[in-house]
Amino acid sequence: MSMLRTLRELLEQEGICLNDAVCDQQVWYLQEMLRWNRRINLTAIEDPGEALEKHLIDCLMMLPLLNGDERLLDMGSGAGLPCIPLKLACPTLRVVSVDSVFKKVAFQQHVARHFGFENFEAKSCRIQNLAQTRGYAGGFDVVTARALTHLSQLAAMVHPFLNKRGRLIAMKGPEARVEVAEAEREIKKSGLMVAFMREFKLPVSEAERVLVVLQRRMAD
């Protein structure tokens, strides 16, 4: 079975429908990532089937939580996960992608040129420095973070970037509920609250995933 067909069918099992053109773009991006990975370290996953599930499917499970036209900041995005799969699926997203490793950002810029992305900015810098930059502080509807750091640190990191109705979507594993409990004090201190958690399993490996959504407290 082709990667295109496999991706489409696995997404449909999860209630996510993307047309063949978008699925083909997703597959090209994944294959290009694995091709670059032979020369520079972009991902520890080298098997195409495993990468399809644990990179593309994993990231695209976030789609139902997006409106499609938000301004999105992806913190610690690496090779562009989750922001590039999300941008391909929702071209109207306005994306700022940040990672401190230049070679990973260079790969993202290569992908953006290939697809002719509009409203996509990939920056190599420390996220703490960006928080001091005009146009970024308080300027985002959504911030995403995939296995970046503990929620107690994430809450403090994300707070300066969120607009009044902004939210963080943190991609976590099965330890998410324990982590939320451990971070409760820091989440509150940062003026945030847990809006909800969405639990799911990846369709092939059945690896457990949790999307933890934090948003500003009403009184903040």
Q: What is the pLDDT of residues 33-51, one digit of tens each?
A: 999 999 999 999 999 999 9
The string of DSSP letters for 151-185 reads HHHHHHHHGGGEEEEEEEEEEE-TTHHHHHHHTHH
Residue 117 CA to its chain's centroid (Å): 17
Residue type, 14: E
Kindly state the percentage of the chain with pLDDT values over 70. 98
Mean pLDDT over 91-106 rounds to 97
